Amino acid sequence: MEPPPAPVEDAVARARDLVLAQEFRPAVALLRAHLRTHPDDSLAWRRLAGALIGLGDQHAAIDAAGRAIDADPGDTVAWRYRGLARHLLGRHRESYADARRAVDLAPDDPEGLNLLAVNVLTVDRDVARFRELYRRALTVDPSNAPARHSAGLDRRIRRRGAAALVLLAVYPPWCVLFLRWLAVDDGSTDAGWTMWPTVAGVAVLIVCAAVGRTSGVVPLVLTWRAIVGAACVGGAGAAGAVWGGTRTATMAAAFGLTAVAVSLLFALTFRLRHRRAGRLPEEDATGGPTRESARVA
């Protein structure tokens, strides 16, 4: 006589334990076997989606999460899993819609809030909204790994923005002072006085380049007010340096305005590159910490 089959809850619960232990293949096999006899089990489809995300099969995860949503449109986690899988495939706008729906259903779900935050940053490049969302996630759960990862990304965004503004304030004066030094390099006091600020400028450039080395993985966030302020500081520095060396107001004004123009040109270039940046690399936007959200529901 064959033993009675295990209760439905046992198979799905066992699959969850396997996913938590990162044994994704056995979990997928167990859930697929279960779903052959219980094709309307939304919880099993949802957990299958989570296991498939852990396994790296995002296409199958999207299908499984979709089946869970069809069976239970109010399943917040299923919406989040589908959004995460789509994000990992680079289908960011679809992921954005899923994450927004997940947050609509569960406004205090930290994983859903963080996934929406990442999508807001990736699609809209809206850093203010990104910060609001991941901070809400941290308020709900201060130990949430994906949200803490987003906080680290935010620190790099701030660091890069500050470095870019310093570069806009320092690099144009450095250029004009260097040109000034080349023009008057006759061993005079004026020439030497003009060169010292360029030496300081080179040092600042080196430091800013090191601070802003994450330029390829985080967006550059600069407002026009900050850009104009940095350009004016650079122009004033260039004008002051040339005035100190030449005591000629017209030349100082010309160099100062040139420095401002160069700063604004560089800023425009930065913003155009930022606009073309389309999306963040997935490793930085949804790397290891975010995937933990697929292992707990």
Name the DSSP class of 187: S
- Tell me the mean pLDDT in the region 59-72: 95
- Tell me the mean pLDDT in the region 41-67: 94
Cβ atoms of 212 and 222 closer than 8 Å = no
* Residue 74 CB coordination number (10 Å): 10
Q: Name the least confident of 33-42, 76-85, 138-147, 266-275.
A: 266-275
How does pLDDT run across 219-260, given as a tens digit for each residue? 556 667 777 887 788 778 777 777 766 677 887 788 788 778
How does pLDDT run across 145-171, given as a tens digit for each residue? 999 999 998 888 887 777 777 777 777
Q: How confident is the model at residue 140 (pLDDT cuts 50, 70, 90)?
A: very high
pLDDT at 287 over 90: no
The amino acid at 106: A
pLDDT at 47 over 60: yes
Please provide the size of the chain in residues. 297
> Hey, CA dihedral for 104, 106, 107, 111, is it positive or negative?
negative
Quote the crossing angle between the two packed helices 249-276 and 145-184, to the nearest 10°: 150
Tell me what pLDDT residue 284 has: 40
pLDDT at 137 over 70: yes
Cβ atoms of 254 and 198 closer than 8 Å = no
Which distant-in-sequence residues (6+ apart) come within 8 Å of 256 by Cβ? 235, 236, 238, 239, 242
Q: How far apart are CA 59 and CA 62, in angstroms?
A: 5
Q: Which residue has the tokens 């935050």?
A: 117
pLDDT at 119 over 70: yes
pLDDT at 89 over 70: yes
Tell me what pLDDT residue 271 has: 66
pLDDT at 265 over 90: no
